[in-house]
Amino acid sequence: MELAAEYSVARGTVMRALDILRAEKLVQSWQGKGTFVRQAAPSEEHDPAAHISRLAERIEAGEDRADELGRRFDEQQQVLAGIKREVKDHARLLARMRRRLEEAGITLADSEQRDGQAM
Protein backbone atom coordinates (compact mmCIF):
# COMPACT_ATOMS: atom_id res chain seq x y z
CA MET A 1 0.00 0.00 0.00
CA GLU A 2 1.51 3.28 -1.15
CA LEU A 3 0.31 5.46 1.73
CA ALA A 4 1.76 3.09 4.35
CA ALA A 5 5.14 3.18 2.64
CA GLU A 6 5.05 6.93 1.99
CA TYR A 7 4.29 7.79 5.61
CA SER A 8 6.15 4.86 7.23
CA VAL A 9 3.10 3.58 9.06
CA ALA A 10 1.47 0.18 9.32
CA ARG A 11 -1.10 -0.83 6.71
CA GLY A 12 -3.74 -1.11 9.49
CA THR A 13 -3.17 2.52 10.45
CA VAL A 14 -3.87 3.63 6.88
CA MET A 15 -6.97 1.43 6.71
CA ARG A 16 -8.35 2.91 9.96
CA ALA A 17 -7.63 6.44 8.71
CA LEU A 18 -9.43 5.71 5.43
CA ASP A 19 -12.40 4.25 7.37
CA ILE A 20 -12.65 7.50 9.35
CA LEU A 21 -12.42 9.61 6.18
CA ARG A 22 -15.10 7.44 4.52
CA ALA A 23 -17.38 7.81 7.56
CA GLU A 24 -16.98 11.57 7.34
CA LYS A 25 -17.69 11.34 3.61
CA LEU A 26 -14.40 13.00 2.75
CA VAL A 27 -13.19 10.12 0.57
CA GLN A 28 -14.93 7.50 -1.56
CA SER A 29 -13.57 4.07 -2.47
CA TRP A 30 -14.27 1.89 -5.53
CA GLN A 31 -13.13 -1.70 -5.64
CA GLY A 32 -10.41 -2.13 -8.21
CA LYS A 33 -10.05 1.62 -8.76
CA GLY A 34 -8.87 2.96 -5.40
CA THR A 35 -9.84 5.62 -2.88
CA PHE A 36 -10.40 9.17 -3.99
CA VAL A 37 -10.99 12.48 -2.25
CA ARG A 38 -14.60 13.52 -2.73
CA GLN A 39 -15.44 16.86 -4.16
CA ALA A 40 -16.64 19.06 -1.35
CA ALA A 41 -20.41 19.34 -1.23
CA PRO A 42 -21.70 22.82 -0.48
CA SER A 43 -21.87 23.04 3.27
CA GLU A 44 -25.17 24.14 4.76
CA GLU A 45 -23.31 26.48 7.11
CA HIS A 46 -21.95 28.34 4.06
CA ASP A 47 -25.28 28.31 2.24
CA PRO A 48 -26.89 31.74 2.79
CA ALA A 49 -30.39 30.48 1.99
CA ALA A 50 -30.14 27.68 4.56
CA HIS A 51 -28.72 30.10 7.12
CA ILE A 52 -31.54 32.59 6.52
CA SER A 53 -34.08 29.78 6.77
CA ARG A 54 -32.65 28.66 10.13
CA LEU A 55 -32.70 32.25 11.39
CA ALA A 56 -36.32 32.67 10.26
CA GLU A 57 -37.26 29.47 12.13
CA ARG A 58 -35.55 30.73 15.28
CA ILE A 59 -37.29 34.11 15.02
CA GLU A 60 -40.66 32.41 14.55
CA ALA A 61 -40.00 30.16 17.55
CA GLY A 62 -39.07 33.24 19.59
CA GLU A 63 -42.25 35.02 18.52
CA ASP A 64 -44.32 31.95 19.46
CA ARG A 65 -42.63 31.85 22.86
CA ALA A 66 -43.23 35.58 23.38
CA ASP A 67 -46.92 35.12 22.48
CA GLU A 68 -47.23 32.24 24.94
CA LEU A 69 -45.54 34.24 27.70
CA GLY A 70 -47.86 37.18 26.94
CA ARG A 71 -50.91 34.92 27.26
CA ARG A 72 -49.63 33.48 30.54
CA PHE A 73 -48.92 36.98 31.87
CA ASP A 74 -52.47 38.08 30.99
CA GLU A 75 -53.90 35.00 32.72
CA GLN A 76 -51.82 35.68 35.84
CA GLN A 77 -52.95 39.32 35.85
CA GLN A 78 -56.57 38.15 35.75
CA VAL A 79 -55.96 35.75 38.64
CA LEU A 80 -54.27 38.53 40.62
CA ALA A 81 -57.17 40.91 39.96
CA GLY A 82 -59.57 38.22 41.21
CA ILE A 83 -57.53 37.75 44.38
CA LYS A 84 -57.49 41.51 44.99
CA ARG A 85 -61.31 41.62 44.65
CA GLU A 86 -61.62 38.75 47.12
CA VAL A 87 -59.33 40.48 49.63
CA LYS A 88 -61.39 43.69 49.38
CA ASP A 89 -64.61 41.68 49.81
CA HIS A 90 -63.19 39.93 52.88
CA ALA A 91 -61.98 43.23 54.35
CA ARG A 92 -65.49 44.73 53.95
CA LEU A 93 -67.02 41.62 55.50
CA LEU A 94 -64.66 41.77 58.48
CA ALA A 95 -65.39 45.49 58.95
CA ARG A 96 -69.15 44.75 58.94
CA MET A 97 -68.67 41.91 61.43
CA ARG A 98 -66.60 44.19 63.71
CA ARG A 99 -69.30 46.90 63.57
CA ARG A 100 -72.04 44.39 64.45
CA LEU A 101 -70.02 42.99 67.34
CA GLU A 102 -69.37 46.50 68.65
CA GLU A 103 -73.10 47.30 68.31
CA ALA A 104 -73.73 44.21 70.42
CA GLY A 105 -71.32 45.52 73.05
CA ILE A 106 -68.46 43.20 72.18
CA THR A 107 -65.17 44.94 71.50
CA LEU A 108 -62.30 43.26 69.74
CA ALA A 109 -58.68 43.93 70.52
CA ASP A 110 -56.79 45.49 67.65
CA SER A 111 -53.54 43.96 66.45
CA GLU A 112 -51.32 46.11 68.77
CA GLN A 113 -53.35 45.08 71.82
CA ARG A 114 -53.20 41.39 70.81
CA ASP A 115 -49.45 41.61 70.32
CA GLY A 116 -49.03 43.21 73.75
CA GLN A 117 -51.16 40.54 75.42
CA ALA A 118 -49.16 37.78 73.77
CA MET A 119 -45.95 38.95 75.43
How far is residue 81's CA from residue 71's CA, in Å, rounded to a whole number? 15
| Residue 42: predicted pLDDT | 56
**CB distance 70 to 76 below 8 Å:** no
Task: Report the DSSP beta bridge partners of residue 27.
Answer: 37
The residue among 27, 1, 28 whose CA lies nearest residue 14 is: 1
**CB distance 108 to 98 below 8 Å:** yes
Q: What digits encode the pLDDT tens for the residues 61-107?
A: 999 999 999 999 999 999 999 999 999 999 999 999 999 999 999 98
How far is residue 3's CA from residue 44's CA, in Å, rounded to a whole number? 32
Q: What digits encode the pLDDT tens for the residues 18-57?
A: 888 888 888 888 888 888 888 766 555 567 788 788 889 9
- The pLDDT > 70 percentage for the chain reads 86
